[in-house]
Amino acid sequence: MYINFWYPAEWSEKLTDQPVKARMLGQDFVLFRDSNGNAHCLSDTCVHRGGSLAAGKLVNGCVQCPYHGWQFDGHGVCQRIPSLGPDARIPGRARVDSYPVEEHYGIVFAFLGDLPADERPPIMGIPEYGQPGWRATSQERWAECDYRRQVENALDPAHNEFVHPTHGFSGSRDDYRVPELTIEEDQWSSGFLTTYYAPPLKDEKMKAASGRSEDAVIEAGSHHFGPSVIRTKIHPTAEVFIHQHAYKLPVDEAHVRTFLIQTRNFLPDEGSDARFRERNNVVADQDAEVLAELHPFFSPETNTHEFMLPADQAVVRYREKLSEWQARGWRIDVDAVNEQRGRAAFAIPSPARREKPGGWVIDTVPLMRGAAAAEDAAEAAG
């Protein structure tokens, strides 16, 4: 799991008049709206005696710890310590980490890291969202799975033929093969669009709306954005598009919550939403069944114990991207965190820690030593 990316923390509509707990990257956070309706994300651990702020309540736009009533504002700064009396000066160390928040597409996104604004990777956008001719639906999935295994599944064009009976011919055609992939990439993403030979649609309404009634070559493919976001494009014909935007939240190393926004430019009526959601669940269940049995459970640390083919090159490229982010020192040392479970509380470093490195009560989460950090150390050692 990696710091310094935007993660989907919660659906916007879930933040009302109570603090909400969110577990992300194996750590706990509290989400709430201040008096102006602005969403905030703070580290959940109260710096007094470790109360869970999410178990408290909202008072004067602050979240109030349930244990001794300290009140923290949206910047994580303590505004009131009741036991000191009404006129007390609040010590500067009475603060918790606060993370940048943005709301898009009905999702509250939190930037879990300490990069300054101009260095942050962007949130993957949905250009067609809200545009005329497009309809968007939301749905959620939960899985006991390594999020990387799910991303790799999406970047794998050879599984559809065997895992999804409606995407191909289940290996029954002699002329089946995966076309050569062209990987498209930029600093934060990589992936491909390719072609699949697919059987006719079974759903009569979709068949009629898409205009595709025979076996056909369809264009489809996926790109990852950062470690845990996927955009999949499915173009059943040259005019009919389905785009899936899976904002995956690594709840911890073994659980994934997916916030899925799907856009389509056909069957624009609300009444058709349910059949798309249902269809997505059927396909996701087919993937989940296979992913649940993978050995090992976690995506391997090297490619040497898997036999990679040209169709796996998007998976390989994704793993290389993860290594690059690890080399920047952004990967959480999950083993070190787990060794301290129940004995130490950690916080993901927030941008304020860069501006003011001293005086924080809670330690930052252990990070794996990146190659960049190792090079710096070697240089410093001369």
Cβ contacts of 41 within 8 Å, gap of 6 or more: 9, 22, 29, 30, 31, 98, 99, 101, 108, 110
**Do strands 107-112 and 5-11 pair parallel, antiparallel, or not at all (unpaired)?**
antiparallel
- With respect to ligand FES, which residue has the nearer C-beta, 50 or 211? 50
Q: Which of ligand FES, Fe ion, none does residue 169 bind (CB under 5 to 8 Å by kind)?
A: none
135 binds, among Fe ion, ligand FES, none (CB under 5 to 8 A by kind): none
- Report, in Å, the least distance between residue 365 CB and ligand FES: 20
Nearer to Fe ion, 4 or 153 (CB): 153
Among Fe ion, ligand FES, none, what does residue 207 contact (CB within 5–8 Å per kind)? Answer: none
Return the ∠ at Cα 267 (arms to 158 and 228), rounded to 5°. 40
356 binds, among Fe ion, ligand FES, none (CB under 5 to 8 A by kind): none
Taking the least distance from each CB to ligand FES, the nearer of 78 and 123 is 78
Interacting residue ranges for ligand FES, rule: CB under 6 A:
46, 48-51, 65, 67-70
Give, to the nearest 10 degrees, the angle between helix 147-154 and helix 273-291: 110
CB 52 → Fe ion: shortest distance, Å?
37
Residue 333, C-beta contacts closer than 8 angstroms, at least 6 positions apart: 365, 366, 367, 368
Q: How many CB atoms lie within 10 A of CB 192?
A: 21
Contacted entry of Fe ion, ligand FES, none for residue 287, CB cut-off 5 to 8 Å set by kind: Fe ion
**Could you list the residues that contact Fe ion (CB under 5 A)?**
287
Do the bridges between strand 346-347 and strand 363-364 make them parallel or antiparallel, or are there none, so unpaired?
Answer: parallel
* Pick 90 or 283: Cβ nearer Fe ion: 283
Q: Which does 97 bind (CB under 5 to 8 A by kind): Fe ion, ligand FES, none?
A: none
- Please report how close the Cβ of residue 259 comes to ligand FES at its closest, in angstroms: 30
Query: Of Fe ion, ligand FES, none, which one does residue 51 interact with (CB within 5 to 8 Å by kind)?
Result: ligand FES
Query: What is the C-alpha to C-alpha distance for residues 349 and 336, in angstroms, rounded to an integer?
Result: 16
Sheet holding 57-59, edge to edge: 57-59, 62-64, 71-72, 78-80
Q: Which does 178 bind (CB under 5 to 8 A by kind): Fe ion, ligand FES, none?
A: none
Among Fe ion, ligand FES, none, residue 93 binds (CB under 5-8 Å by kind): none
List phi, psi (to 5°) of 101. Answer: -130, 140
Q: How far is the CB of 56 from ligand FES (least distance, A)?
A: 8
Residue 131 tokens read as 């545009």
Using CB atoms, what's the residue nearest to Fe ion? Answer: 287
Q: How far apart are CA 40 and CA 194, in angstroms?
A: 40
Measured from the CB atom, is 70 or 346 closer to ligand FES? Answer: 70
Burial class (CB in 10 A: 0-12, 13-18, 19+), 133: exposed
Is 46 in contact with 97 (CB distance < 8 Å)? no
* CB nearer Fe ion, residue 41 or residue 230: 230
Nearer to ligand FES, 51 or 226 (CB): 51
Q: How many CB atoms lie within 10 A of CB 162?
A: 15
Residue 160 CA to residue 354 CA, distance in Å, equals 45
User: Three-state SS for 300?
Assistant: coil
Query: Exposure of 348 by Cβ count < 10 A (0-12 exposed, 13-18 middle, 19+ buried)?
Result: buried
User: Minimum Å distance from CB 311 to Fe ion?
Assistant: 14
Q: Which is nearer to ligand FES, 51 or 74 (CB)?
A: 51
Q: Closest CB to ligand FES among 44 and 253?
A: 44
